[in-house]
Structure 1
Amino acid sequence: MITYFVYILQCSDNTFYTGITSDLTGRLESHQKGKYQNSYTYSRRPVELVYYCEFTDPNKAILTEKQIKKWSKSKKQALIAGEFDKLPNLSKKSFNK
């Protein structure tokens, strides 16, 4: 059974990168070494793994990665901090009058 990882890296410029892989160790090494010059993380190294979750269903992993990529920085920070109770409210838009 293959395990898939959805992960979040914190880049040196304090932005986040979200990705998916079946080889977390190898993928982190690729990010750190700058294996792909056109990648988002290449010019933002070093990177730090700040969150990951595991899946056995690749479709669920892909959907989760896509979902997290759409999140705001504050919502990603709450996920990383394990503040799951804050996630629903961070999804709501604020409409000021």
Structure 2
Amino acid sequence: MSLGPFFRSPFTDLTASMVNFQQYDKCGEMEMAAIDCLEAYGTVRGAKKCADILIDFQECAFMNKQIARFRTMRLERHRQGLLGDRKAEDYYAKPPRVDAY
């Protein structure tokens, strides 16, 4: 995960902090913890020292494991449907009533 731009210019300094996760309740605190850790150790040494925090933040931000789990469950559900273990109408749970919310 690269934190610095490839080359520096006044434009990169102006737009450096435009993309962040502070507006999201879910990942804002993890991002701050990761940035604080990297600020304390630096980006090179912090890659080793802060690896667990960075991995947790990346999972929170990009949801790679959650998406992989969803795809695996969906493929299994479709495999069961093709083999006849599951009926086509039973692929997914029944939705709640319209006024159930």
How high is the TM-score relative to the length of structure 1? Answer: 0.23
Higher strand share: 1
How high is the TM-score relative to the length of structure 2? Answer: 0.22
Structure exhibiting the larger radius of gyration computed from Cα positions: 2
Higher helix share: 2
Per chain length, whose mean CA-contact separation is higher, i.e. which structure has more relative contact order (CA < 8 Å, sep 6+)? Answer: 1
